[in-house]
Structure 1
């Protein structure tokens, strides 16, 4: 969280999964990132089966795009810096593909 607030000082809201609703995470995020509001995105009580949540769909869609990259399908990297480099490379490929589709 400290790295997140240092890299993105303009960040005001953070959507988190229901697994982060405990007091330990709330206290830690309050100490580290005072300006960031943490919103827990929970599933509605009346939902039956899978239901798409608009806040979570962004993350699920991006994970799906990354899973199309064969190098990221398995965890082969020994170093975090190398894994981050391949994640950035996959992001560049995804963005280039989107840009090329729009220009046609």
Structure 2
């Protein structure tokens, strides 16, 4: 789900949980970062989704590896290999979301067929 920058993490979390519950009723657990507050967690509970807040390691200053966070970061890297998504060219969140969907479909198709292609940042 893509939102405008002015949408808070908490508000976006509530919207996303509603969409996930409607589209995938078997989902029972979600992990969120500390940007999601009590309202999103309570909303998840109403939908039957256990929302688990993954806290930062307070003992480490700067960057620290958070378990399972690499999955999200790697997913961002896979879609960033598509040149159009490397910059914010889209003016509407729906257009940006569509471009992300196309990038993910492209990546999955390449994996399924074993195809490799030269990307714009790897000549």
TM-score range, shorter chain: 0.7 to 0.9
Tell me how far apart the structure 1 counterparts of residues 92 and 33 of structure 2 sit (CA, whole Å).
Answer: 27
TM-score normalized with structure 1 length = 0.77
Paired residue for 2:52?
39
CA shift at 1:2, angstroms? 1.4
CA contact (8 A) 1:41 1:55 kept: no
**1:22-33 counterparts in 2 under 5 A?**
22-31=37-46, 33=47
CA contact (8 A) 1:11 1:36 kept: yes
CA shift at 1:80, angstroms? 4.0
Identify the structure with the greater helix proportion.
1
Give the count of matched residue pairs.
98
Root-mean-square deviation (CA, aligned residues, Å) is 2.0
TM-score normalized with structure 2 length = 0.67
**1:5-16 counterparts in 2 under 5 A?**
5-16=21-32
Flag structure 2 segments of 5+ consecutive residues without an equivalent.
Answer: 1-16, 116-123
